[in-house]
Chains A and B, each alone.
Chain A
């Protein structure tokens, strides 16, 4: 009689219902230091409740629909609408509390809301993946979900949320952190590519060197990042003392220099491995026939090996980027700045909103870069089987 066609959707909808029914929707605290009062969904006004429950019911109904184009579009549309509705309710509630209470009162999303938002995005992503295999379309469909939330954010609709209050208080710090974080990323990628790519090519051309190079890089990778940051402090401080001109250009035991050195060292293993793996998977017969046609070693490298190794190289570059963005947070411990500084400040003063203010942009950066690389790789691979 009834047949469940979309089991993934069913699971997500069940989780969604559970998150809404059991977990707190919004936390409200008198100030940022005390722990807040959780507020569950049923305490919301009726129209807000309807806005959240109705889509869940429709989504539950859609699990019975066959996974064809129309039901999938409907699923995407409704999950997206629900995502936006939840954000709107969140903003509204925060504004309402702001009018009620004092200006130091803090309203923040509860675990139920966080989970609900994430589940909505998962439903959207699942529907998009079933709708089209084309990477560009997937990216565009995923991007359009964010149009309304970003517009709401820019219009100041969420400004009564504690997270944005923290942002308003520290806008300068936030902007500095963003530029510093991007600097750490680019400052890591450039030298890592400059060292890693030639090293990978060298390892590919001289296989006898591979195992020794990889074992060194492996050892580096196994050192915990905090330890490596710490280990670099003493030698760099010593070096800067010994050669004062190094200190003059900004080299010291703490700060950006040791952070960049450590991040580059961590980036090398995935990068070199990607270069070697990419070059190694170029089929022998292609190189043989290129040689047989009279291409020079250099021509074979640039015209055949490099383009054919590029997708694998980009894949490892994607890993390196995301890894660097994440690790740069920890680099704040040795004074490298970036979003990590905001995170640790929040942790030390047990202000969760401050932690989130540091973490959310890091996640957003990572997700955006990841999507960009996916698109690049799929465009490259569209030409190759």
Chain B
């Protein structure tokens, strides 16, 4: 879908992105992560040509992005940023209708699309259509921001730290929302963040950047399990690496299915990190596990937590 081929970008002679090669596959949720100044935002903005690259090639849908008209290219991509950037003088409906209007959709289609998107983002259309951005909470504003980015059914959704300014509860809710939307439509999403938990929660593939280069890319599990160097290891939190690995795995992968014990059971789809917390909390070595129907399906042993993927199963 999007290919970077030895791309570099210089700001005042300094390389912000240096010799970057990256392939983002269709339908993939890619998270660009790194410290500030790592070039992750620049990389994102080069995709919709808000920043023009200096060297190399970027291809979108197989074609060099320079061959597109910048405005037409951007209208095929949704764009959501941290500060949201809703137009304060337009109400919610007008804000969402921005790109469809630029694309000259017929009015009934735009109206229907607004209602559909508000519902998708969990905002009641009748209640929110006419409101102005300053009448919404931060979370609601960002929902409208996401709805606006999705308005014209873009082929790619670009998000620049979209949830950075939200409180943890709202952020988690919106992260779930975006995962749900991704699963629902299978759209290509590129998201920039510096929040490791967010990256682990959302990404199909994580691209770790530093100093304008890619340090490592792969699935969340690959990055946690096999960090290529000290920077990657440090970035994912040397001391918490194990806990983060546990949070990516579920109880169902590590339980012993042929055993049964008494006691208050835990659910099979719990993460191992939460299970660990329960072991410590209850001061026990084994926990009975039930499936989603509530039927007993095995026992989780404390010692199995440390064994990792290869030792799991019955």
Binding site for B on A (CB under 8 A): 283, 285-296, 299, 303-304, 307-308, 383-385
Contact = CB atoms under 8 A, between A and B. Distances in A.
A293 B132 contact: no
A294 B99 contact: yes
B138 to A, nearest CB: 13
A293 B133 CA distance: 18
A292 B134 contact: no
Interface centre among B75, B79, B84 (most CB of A within 10 A): B79
**Central interface residue in B74, B85, B98, B133, by most chain A CB within 10 Å:** B85
Nearest to B85: A289
A25 to B, nearest CB: 52
A291 B50 contact: yes
Contacts of B98: 290, 293, 295
A311 to B, nearest CB: 10
B89 A308 contact: yes
Interface in B69-98: 70-75, 79-81, 83-89, 98
A293 B75 contact: yes
15 contacts: A285-B85, A286-B88, A289-B79, A289-B145, A290-B87, A292-B48, A293-B98, A293-B149, A294-B71, A294-B75, A295-B98, A308-B88, A308-B89, A383-B132, A384-B132
A384 B134 contact: yes
Contacts of B61: none
A205 B270 CA distance: 56
B50 A292 contact: yes
A308 B88 CA distance: 8
Contact of A292 (B72, B81, B89): B81
Contacts of B243: none
A289 to B, nearest CB: 3
A384 B89 contact: yes
B262 to A, nearest CB: 57
Most buried by B among A292, A296, A303: A292
Given A293-B98, A299-B102, A288 B73 contact: no
A294 B85 contact: no
Contacts of B81: 285, 288-289, 292
Nearest to A385: B134
Given A285-B81, A289-B79, A299-B102, A294 B74 contact: yes
Interface string B55-72: 000000000000000111
A291 B71 CA distance: 8
A320 B205 CA distance: 59
Nearest to A296: B71
B83 A294 contact: no
B50 A288 contact: yes
A203 to B, nearest CB: 23
Contacts of B102: 293-295, 299
Nearest to A310: B89
Contacts of A290: 85, 87, 98
Contacts of B87: 286, 290, 303-304
Nearest to B76: A294
A299 B73 CA distance: 16
Contacts of A294: 70-75, 99, 102
Nearest to B45: A292
Nearest to A380: B89
Given A285-B81, A383-B132, A293 B89 contact: no
Contacts of B80: 289
Contacts of B132: 383-385
A284 to B, nearest CB: 8
Given A285-B85, A290-B98, A384-B134, 6 more contacts: A286-B86, A288-B50, A289-B80, A289-B86, A293-B98, A294-B102
Given A285-B84, A286-B85, A292 B79 contact: yes
Nearest to B135: A385
* Pairs A-B, 10 closest by C-beta atoms: A289-B85, A294-B74, A292-B79, A385-B134, A294-B75, A285-B83, A285-B85, A294-B71, A286-B85, A384-B88
B74 A291 contact: yes
A287 B87 CA distance: 9
